């Protein structure tokens, strides 16, 4: 049976706990250092607290140790991975192969980060051979690419299904380092791809002004989960380690419900990777939390319009503007507005503008003056204040199902319990009570009181066996028995489903020449690659400080996005174009045979 895992991001331990409560099978989170989101670090104590909570449901915690590491940082990295193992972390998400050596013997599984830029079967095979039990695939690949990689390796495959997208192949973007000295491979990305640029042709003519030409929509593969599972993906990853708790709650609950439906559709083929189900609470809606518009990217093997649009639910058009806001002409009778709603629209120059409503009275909106907002402007809501409140007020509850068998005699009542994850216990109490005047009602009371919830457990009684007369048992007595069972279960560890591990396979050789794109940043890396046959190894971009270089490569193409693709319009040539921002100039080159674009210094 194939195991399906929903993997949630967490900026903090509390957000990680919220993710588990909403149905995550695993959570990835950064420790105090060496995480690719520098602003999302956590203490070892918080990591330990999250591990203890998640393990109650058999959910796993993965720590991101996915920056490149310099020689003088090796001792600190060694100490960190040891601390993470002792805190209960189940796996490390790793970019730098030195971390594999530093983690030997600590009992954690090793997952190759998406920063490893695995997008071909050959790269996947080599990556697995280093000792990774799981590979987090590059996002800009198709279902067919995933199937080919699945055939090439035994490692588990993890794939992003939701959230913000990097325009570059992961781990090989040096734009932030080039422009600001802040390296994405060191967790310091300045997100230069979200900046506004002018686009010029080879003659210096401005084609587009002041537009985020490198900013992509957000990924949404909610409708592709069955196809991805069939292709061999076992872990469905949500992006967002800088996102807030409400975002995580909503997205996790939506995808958890979708995976539950997939398991129910194929009960003999799939199972979830953890235990317990979420009941009650809010109804998730992916359109009601912040997004830049949604795309399935290259999953289907075809290009679409990938540039960010602001996104969200279409609310209608601006009917007229007022001195302190505007009047909305709603798109449908179902449109409702609330104070604090967030809106976006596309300005006349093509840029995306966002703003918040201060006061909404019906369709009359008061807000600060918004440049570019005119009658006829189409408005999209990408943040619903009412929905945000519902997330907080009604989060739902995750519970582990427990089946009870009950044996009742005049002297004792014994409960035999078995959880959905296989833990077994019993609890027996001596009865000091007279026989019940109404035995049927007494048994009904036992069933009713034992069938309630205690802590994280949802009890249900399968049968009640009676020997002799039925004693009269008060509700408080039965409730105490149920709580005793729950307390006993709490002391019993949940055995999680196993994670795949892998031993290194030294016979798999590295390419003879490794460029700066291999991100080699320390002596341990060089030793590992040399042992695999690499003859020439360039230092990582961050160490070599090269000026002119390929700063990123992508399936995304500005020419295609603007309808200027030579494959679509005869007579056009794939001449270079140029991005300009604040006096800095970047060259766009178009590699039509591979359908790729590069950004170069």
Domain boundary among 490, 517, 534: 490
Residues 96 and 18 in one domain: yes
State the Cα–Cα distance between residues 590 and 593, nearest whole angstrom.
9
Residues 52 and 142 in one domain: yes
Residues 227 and 351 in one domain: no
Q: Is the pLDDT score of 12 beyond 80? A: yes
Number of separate domains in the chain: 3
Residues 299 and 249 in one domain: no
Residues 343 and 481 in one domain: no
Per-residue pLDDT, averaged over 61-71, amounts to: 97
Residues 459 and 331 in one domain: no
Residue 289 lies in a domain: no
pLDDT tens, residue by residue, 539-558: 999 998 766 789 999 999 99
- The pair of structure tokens assigned to 572 is 């056009």
* pLDDT score at 352: 81
Q: Which residues of 262-292 are buried (b: 16+ CB within 10 A; e: fewer)?
A: bbeeeeeebebbbbbbbeebbebebbbbbbb
pLDDT interval class at 18 (50, 70, 90): very high
User: How many other CB atoms are found less than 10 A from the CB of residue 208?
Assistant: 18
pLDDT interval class at 350 (50, 70, 90): confident
Residues 14 and 90 in one domain: yes
* pLDDT score at 582: 86
> What distances in angstroms separate CA 258 from CA 162, 264, 312, 315, 552, one per listed residue?
13, 10, 20, 26, 34
What pTM was computed for the model? Answer: 0.95
Task: Identify the residue whose tokens are 């993470």.
Answer: 84
State the Cα–Cα distance between residues 567 and 395, nearest whole angstrom.
50
Residue 9 lies in a domain: yes
Domain boundary among 422, 455, 490: 490
Q: Between 74 and 353, where is the model more confident?
A: 74
CB 31 within 8 A of CB 47: yes
Per-residue pLDDT, averaged over 162-170, amounts to: 96
Residues 321 and 450 in one domain: no
Long-range Cβ pairs for the range 585-591 (8 Å, 24+): 586/175, 586/197, 586/551, 588/558, 590/557, 590/559, 590/566
Residues 100 and 20 in one domain: yes
Beta bridge partners of 425: 417
Residue 475 lies in a domain: yes
Q: What is the DSSP letter of 508?
A: S
Domain boundary among 345, 366, 393: 393
Residue 285 lies in a domain: no
CB 514 within 8 A of CB 536: yes
* pLDDT score at 544: 86
Residue 526 lies in a domain: no
Residues 365 and 448 in one domain: no
Per-residue pLDDT, averaged over 406-415, amounts to: 94
pLDDT tens, residue by residue, 418-435: 999 999 999 999 998 899
Q: Is the pLDDT score of 39 beyond 80? A: no
pLDDT tens, residue by residue, 80-135: 999 999 999 999 999 999 999 999 999 999 999 999 999 999 999 999 999 999 99
Beta bridge partners of 9: 28
Strands 412-419 vs 424-430: parallel, antiparallel or unpaired: antiparallel
* pLDDT score at 462: 85
User: In a 3-state reduction of DSSP, which class is residue 585?
Assistant: strand
State the Cα–Cα distance between residues 599 and 587, nearest whole angstrom.
6
Residues 26 and 132 in one domain: yes
Residue 357 lies in a domain: yes
CB 347 within 8 A of CB 418: no
pLDDT tens, residue by residue, 438-490: 999 999 999 999 999 999 999 999 889 999 999 999 999 999 999 999 999 99
Residue 262 lies in a domain: yes
Residues 77 and 27 in one domain: yes
Domain extent, residue 381, equals 294-393
Q: Is the pLDDT score of 261 beyond 90? A: yes
* pLDDT score at 433: 84
Q: Is the pLDDT score of 310 beyond 80? A: no
Task: Identify the residue whose tokens are 């279902």.
Answer: 143
Residue 341 lies in a domain: yes
CB 482 within 8 A of CB 452: yes
Strands 134-136 vs 156-163: parallel, antiparallel or unpaired: parallel
């Amino acid at each position: 049976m194939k195991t399906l895992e929903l993997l949630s991001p967490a900026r903090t331990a509390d957000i990680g706990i919220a993710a588990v409560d909403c149905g995550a099978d695993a959570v990835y989170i950064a420790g105090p250092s060496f995480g690719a989101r520098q602003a999302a670090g956590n203490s070892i104590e918080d990591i330990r607290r999250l591990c203890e909570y998640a393990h109650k449901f058999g959910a796993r915690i993965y720590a991101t140790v996915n920056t490149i590491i310099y020689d003088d940082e090796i001792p600190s990295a060694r100490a960190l991975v040891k601390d993470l193992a002792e805190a209960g972390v189940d796996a490390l998400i790793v970019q730098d192969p030195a971390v594999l050596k530093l983690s030997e013997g600590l009992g954690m599984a090793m997952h190759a980060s998406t920063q490893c830029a695995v997008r071909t079967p050959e790269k996947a095979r080599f990556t697995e051979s280093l000792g990774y039990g799981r590979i987090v695939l590059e996002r800009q690949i198709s279902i067919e690419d995933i199937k080919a990689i699945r055939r090439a390796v035994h490692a588990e495959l993890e794939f992003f299904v939701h959230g913000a997208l990097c325009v570059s192949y992961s781990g090989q973007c040096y734009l932030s380092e080039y422009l600001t000295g802040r390296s994405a491979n060191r967790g310091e990305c300045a997100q230069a791809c979200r900046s506004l640029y002018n686009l010029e042709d080879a003659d210096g003519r401005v084609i587009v002004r002041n537009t985020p030409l490198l900013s992509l929509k957000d990924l949404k593969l909610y409708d592709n989960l069955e196809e991805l599972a069939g292709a061999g993906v076992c872990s469905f990853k949500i992006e967002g380690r800088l996102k807030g708790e409400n975002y995580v709650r909503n997205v996790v609950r939506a995808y958890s419900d979708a995976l539950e439906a997939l398991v129910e559709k194929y009960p003999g083929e799939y199972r979830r990777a953890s235990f317990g189900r979420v009941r009650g609470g809010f109804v998730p809606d992916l359109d009601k939390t912040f997004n830049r518009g949604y795309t399935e990217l290259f999953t289907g093997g075809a290009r679409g319009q990938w540039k960010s649009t602001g996104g969200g639910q279409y609310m209608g058009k601006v009917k007229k503007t007022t001195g302190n806001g505007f009047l909305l002409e709603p798109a449908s009778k179902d449109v409702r507005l609330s104070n604090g709603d967030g809106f976006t629209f596309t300005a006349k120059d093509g840029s995306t503008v966002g703003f918040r409503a201060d006061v909404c009275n019906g369709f009359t909106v008061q807000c600060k003056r918004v440049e570019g907002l005119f009658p006829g402007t189409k408005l999209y809501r990408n943040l619903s204040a009412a929905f945000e409140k519902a997330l907080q007020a009604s989060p739902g509850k995750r519970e582990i199902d427990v089946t009870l068998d009950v044996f009742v005699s005049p002297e004792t009542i014994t409960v035999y319990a078995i959880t959905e994850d296989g833990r077994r216990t019993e609890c027996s109490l001596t009865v000091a009570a007279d026989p019940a005047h109404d035995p049927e009602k007494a048994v009904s009371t036992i069933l009713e009181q034992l069938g309630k919830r205690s802590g994280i457990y949802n009890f249900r009684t399968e049968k009640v066996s009676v020997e002799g007369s039925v004693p009269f048992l008060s509700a408080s007595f039965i409730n105490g028995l149920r709580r005793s069972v729950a307390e006993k279960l709490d002391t019993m560890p949940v055995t999680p489903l196993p994670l795949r591990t892998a031993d290194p396979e030294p016979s798999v050789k590295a390419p003879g020449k490794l460029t700066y794109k291999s991100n080699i940043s320390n002596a341990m890396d060089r030793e590992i690659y040399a042992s695999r046959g690499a003859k020439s190894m360039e230092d990582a971009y961050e160490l070599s400080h090269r000026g002119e270089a390929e700063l990123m490569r992508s399936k995304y193409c500005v020419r295609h996005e603007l309808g200027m693709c030579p494959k679509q319009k005869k007579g056009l040539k794939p001449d270079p174009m140029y991005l300009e921002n604040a006096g800095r100039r970047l060259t766009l080159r178009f590699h039509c045979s591979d359908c790729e674009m590069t950004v170069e210094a």
